[in-house]
């Protein structure tokens, strides 16, 4: 029985569904709408032939799941990893629906992925795979249909190839088909730092609510990729004390604070944080359990589970990653009175600024970075206030409050639109 529970806990789709059911139940959601919102609208499985550099043909399996397009086009990243599964993509697509609704932007949720190991592929192989994946999806994506973006192991270059492939099929340049592009081909200023900046904004709101100060707030961050590194740099600059940073294969700890800019430069030079002289080596699993005010899991899913949640010592858990905390762990953290800033709020800075990029592409006029950041701050603060107010009004934790708020908004739209038959 215990093994079954752990397997369910490790499956992000099961975890997402458990939270959805709990929130929908508390909302007394109509049974028909419950069924409509619980499952994705469309799931696409692709088998993508790619000519490899050694002359052999390889076939990769890819996915695109569109969970809901009730409030606008689908929106969501594309990830390249050996452990991508359909259930994971389903869960991420539904999280995108709720995330866009929490920050109240006019997108639905989607997600994509390809099962591959991009670290073992050449740029040519990655390009050919990306272009074929995009070509197979031409009928299903587009500025008014579904707008992909970067995610795990994908970046501005991958988005440039996707945009170009789609544009070739359309016989015109369509910059708004993807977001997270290089700035010179329709990308937005501030997009790269946006998810990390969003984490900073909600952490500022949380410490204000709990009566803490930046300069006495110790922060531990798991992950030093796009989200973790930008959150660390922006938070250090704002006056927070970053005492721990973890990555795959090792972590760093310095109780007096890590010089994040020096670490960033070290990482740029060496391609790793390991061996950085300004902090001691630390077990990454233990970093999650280190005494601190703010813990930011900004790596992958299922990091805080029923097996370690009782040993977490933070006051605030700000989820930079998607799905880092499992459903059973939520109950343990609630008993410990940990203030959770759920992923569908904490890391929504990325999709919010992606929305700004889409808007700028469609109007052909690009904003200054200060305008992007100002608009982002306004939306993130409003969303934080909405979630906390919902939590206090309905006497539920912040995560269930965020789900209830999001489900309520999407369900309201579906009721207004009606069901086409």
The 10s digit of each residue's pLDDT in 242-278 is 999 998 878 999 999 999 999 999 988 988 888 899 8
**Given this model, what pLDDT does residue 416 score?**
95
Q: Is the pLDDT of residue 40 over 50?
A: yes
> Per the residue annotation, which of 99, 111, 181, 315 is the catalytic one?
111
Give the model's confidence band at 150: pLDDT under 50 very low, under 70 low, under 90 confident, else very high.
very high
Q: Residue 324 and residue 304: Cα distance in Å, rounded?
A: 6
Torsion of CA 266, 267, 273, 274, to 10 degrees: -70
Calculate mean pLDDT across residues 13-34.
90
pLDDT single digits (tens) 335-392: 899 999 999 999 999 999 999 999 999 999 999 999 999 999 999 999 999 999 999 9
Please indicate whether residue 111 is annotated as part of the active site.
Answer: yes
E-strand ranges in 336-397 read 339-341
Calpha distance 348→379 (Å, rounded) = 10
Q: What is the pLDDT of residues 170-219, one digit of tens each?
A: 999 999 999 999 999 999 999 989 999 999 999 999 999 999 999 999 99
Token pair of 136, please? 């197979």
8 Å CB contact between 212 and 228: no
285: which residues sit within 8 A by CB, 6+ positions away? 308
Task: Specify whether the CB–CB gap between 223 and 209 falls below 8 A.
Answer: no
Confidence band of 31 (pLDDT split at 50, 70, 90): very high
Note the pLDDT of residue 2.
46
Find residue 219's DSSP bridge partners: 242, 294
Alpha-helical segments (H) within 62-122? 86-102
Does position 3 have pLDDT exceeding 80, yes or no? no
List of residues 6+ apart from 205 with CB closer than 8 A? 380, 381, 384, 385
Terminal-to-terminal C-alpha distance of the chain: 43
What domains appear along the chain, each with residue ranges and CATH number?
A: 43-185 (3.40.50.10860), 188-421 (3.40.50.720)
For residue 399, give the nearest of 341, 347, 348 by alpha carbon. 341
**In this prediction, what percent of the chain has a pLDDT beyond 90?**
82
Q: Residue 6: its pLDDT value, please? A: 55
> Which pLDDT belongs to residue 225?
87
Q: What is the pLDDT of residue 1?
A: 40
Tokens of 199: 């984490």
Question: What's the sign of the alpha-carbon dihedral 79, 80, 83, 89?
Answer: positive
Quickly state the pLDDT bin for 4 (edges 50, 70, 90).
Answer: very low
Q: Calculate the average pLDDT of the chain.
A: 93
Query: Bridge partners of 368?
Result: none
Task: List, for residues 155-164, the tens digit of each pLDDT value.
Answer: 999 999 999 9
pLDDT, residue 300, reads 80
**What are 378-420's pLDDT values in tens digits?**
999 999 999 999 999 999 999 999 999 999 999 999 999 998 8
């Amino acid at each position: 029985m215990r093994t079954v529970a752990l397997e369910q806990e490790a499956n992000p789709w099961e975890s997402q569904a458990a939270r959805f059911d709990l929130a929908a139940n508390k909302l007394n959601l109509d049974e028909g709408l419950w069924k409509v919102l619980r499952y994705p609208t469309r799931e696409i499985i692709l088998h993508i032939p790619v000519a490899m550099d050694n002359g052999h043909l390889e076939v990769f399996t890819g996915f695109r799941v569109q969970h809901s397009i009730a409030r606008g086009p689908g929106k969501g990243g594309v990830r390249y990893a050996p452990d991508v599964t359909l259930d994971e993509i389903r869960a991420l697509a539904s999280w995108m629906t709720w995330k866009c609704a929490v920050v109240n932007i006019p997108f639905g949720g989607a997600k994509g992925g390809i099962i591959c190991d991009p670290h073992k592929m050449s740029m040519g192989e990655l390009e050919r795979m990306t272009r074929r994946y995009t070509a197979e999806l031409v009928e299903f994506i587009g500025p008014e249909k579904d707008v992909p973006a970067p995610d795990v192991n994908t970046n501005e270059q991958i988005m440039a190839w996707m945009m170009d492939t789609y544009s070739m099929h359309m016989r015109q340049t369509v910059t708004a088909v993807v977001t997270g592009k290089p700035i010179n081909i329709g990308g937005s200023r501030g997009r790269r730092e946006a998810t990390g900046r969003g984490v900073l904004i909600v952490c500022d709101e949380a410490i204000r609510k709990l009566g803490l100060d930046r300069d006495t707030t110790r922060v531990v961050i798991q992950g030093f990729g796009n989200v973790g590194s930008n959150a660390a740099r922006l938070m250090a600059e704002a006056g927070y004390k970053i005492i721990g940073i973890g990555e795959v294969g090792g972590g760093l700890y310095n109780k007096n604070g890590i010089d994040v800019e020096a670490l960033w430069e070290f990482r740029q030079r060496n391609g790793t944080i390991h061996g950085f002289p300004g902090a001691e080596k630390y077990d990454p699993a233990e970093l999650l359990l280190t005494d601190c005010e703010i813990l930011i899991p900004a790596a992958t899913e299922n990091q805080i589970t029923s097996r370690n949640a009782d040993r977490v010592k933070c006051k605030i858990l700000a989820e930079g990653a998607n799905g880092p905390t499992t459903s059973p762990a939520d109950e343990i953290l609630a008993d410990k009175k940990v203030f959770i800033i759920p992923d569908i709020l904490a890391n929504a800075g990325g999709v919010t600024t992606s929305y700004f990029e889409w808007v700028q592409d469609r109007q052909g006029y690009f904003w200054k970075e200060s305008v992007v950041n100002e608009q982002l701050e306004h939306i993130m603060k409003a969303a934080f206030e909405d979630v906390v107010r919902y939590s206090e009004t309905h006497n539920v934790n912040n995560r269930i409050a965020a789900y209830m708020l999001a489900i309520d908004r999407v369900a309201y739209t579906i009721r207004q639109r009606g069901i086409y038959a």
